[in-house]
Structures are given as structure tokens and as C-alpha cells.
Amino acid sequence: MRVFVKLYANLVRHVAGTKPGVPFEMDVPEGTTLGELAICLRIPPEEVRIAFVGGRVQPELWVLAPADEIGIFPSIGGG
């Protein structure tokens, strides 16, 4: 099934050719969770701070649906 993913900040370094906040399409098997999506993207789990599906924060075990729009954000430090 096809989903649409936006990576933010330094997470783009894990997927060649992506830019922060610019969506890209991805095919994943039915039943894929947010956590499994991060693994498919080769993003270490400790780098994912928060993920949105359809504009709402969802847990790592959230099961994706066809055409979902996903935003993945890293932990960002600052002072």
C-alpha cells in the first residue's frame, strides 16, 4: 500500500534524495506500524521523537492505512 512520508530536520539524512518537510511516496505492506516504517527508512528508534498520521500524534504501534500522510520528527535540543 502507498503512504506519504515527510521527514523533518536531520532525519532526512537516512533517506537519500529527501528534503525536510517535503513529502515522498512509499510502498509498505498492509499492517505496517509507525515503528516498522521507521525501521524500513533505516531511522534508529532513538532518533524518532514524535510521529503524526493525518495531523495527529500516534504511538509507535499505530497501524498505517493506504494513503496515510505521516510526519516524523526527531528530538531537537536547544537552549
Provide the pLDDT for residue 10: 93
Distance between CA atoms of 2 and 68, rounded to whole angstroms?
8
**pLDDT value at 37 more than 70:** yes
**Grid cell locating 62:** 499505530
Dump pLDDT digits (tens) for 14-27: 999 999 999 999 99
Q: What's the CATH code, domain 2-74?
A: 3.10.20.30
**pLDDT value at 78 more than 60:** no
Q: What is the pLDDT of the chain when averaged over all its residues?
A: 94
Distance between CA atoms of 49 and 1, rounded to whole angstroms?
25
**pLDDT value at 79 more than 70:** no
The answer to whether the pTM exceeds 0.85 is: yes
